[in-house]
Amino acid sequence: MSETPSITRDDVAHLARLARIDVPPEQLDHYAEQLQVILGAVAQVSEVASEDVPPMSHPLPLVNVFREDVVRSTLSNAEALSGAPSVESERFRVPRILDEE
């Protein structure tokens, strides 16, 4: 890429929304400035990433790692729920998922 796109406070607000983080408005400019600097530095990867180089996602050539389909013990319901901030009827209790009418 020839130049790094500039990161605005609106871009940061959008990223924060996508990442589900309520970044306070007064911090948007600060993050925009820092992300701009970091992206400017990391953009150099494009200098050597030519068409003929295959991408690598993982250091090990392991594929299709399966195990025998046998029954074994796992966490109990109570153990799985033991760290939950809110529990009801042996389930994770969460705030409302649907918008009200």
Partner 1 sequence: MTDLIRLTAAETAAVVASGEASAVEVAQAHLDRITAVDERVHAFLHVDTEGALAAASAVDARRAAGDALAPLAGVPLALKDVMTQQGIPTTCGSRMLEGWRPPYDATVTSRLKAAGVVILGKTNMDEFAMGSSTEHSAYGPTHNPWDLERIPGGSGGGSAAAVAAYEAPMAIGTDTGGSIRQPAAVTGTVGVKPTYGAVSRYGLVALASSLDQAGPCARNVLDTALLHATIAGHDPLDSTSAPVPVPDVVGAALRADVRGMRIGVVKELGGEGYQAGVRQRFDEAVEILTGLGAEVVEVSCPHFPYALAAYYLILPSECSSNLAKFDGMRFGIRVGEDVGDPSVEQVMGRTRAAGFGDETIRRIMLGTYALSAGYYDAYYGSAQKVRTLITRDFAAAFEQVDVLVSPTAPTTAFKLGEKLDDPLAMYLNDIATIPANLAGTPGMSLPVGLAPEDGLPVGLQIMAPAMADDRLYNVGAALEAALLERWGRPILEEAPSL
Between the CA of residue 73 and those of 38, 69, 78, 83, what are the distances in Å?
46, 13, 14, 19
Does 43 help bind partner 1 (rule: CB under 8 A)? yes
CB of 81 to partner 1, least distance (A): 8
> Contact 39/4 with Cβ under 8 angstroms?
yes
> Contact 81/87 with Cβ under 8 angstroms?
yes
> Within 10 Å of residue 28's Cβ, how many Cβ atoms?
18
Does 39 help bind partner 1 (rule: CB under 8 A)? yes
Does 25 help bind partner 1 (rule: CB under 8 A)? no
Give the single-character DSSP code of 4.
Answer: P
CB of 29 to partner 1, least distance (A): 14
CB of 94 to partner 1, least distance (A): 5
User: Which positions lie near partner 1, rule CB under 8 A?
Assistant: 1, 5, 7, 11-12, 15-24, 31, 34-35, 37-39, 41-50, 53-60, 62, 65, 67, 75, 79-80, 82-86, 92, 94-97, 99-100
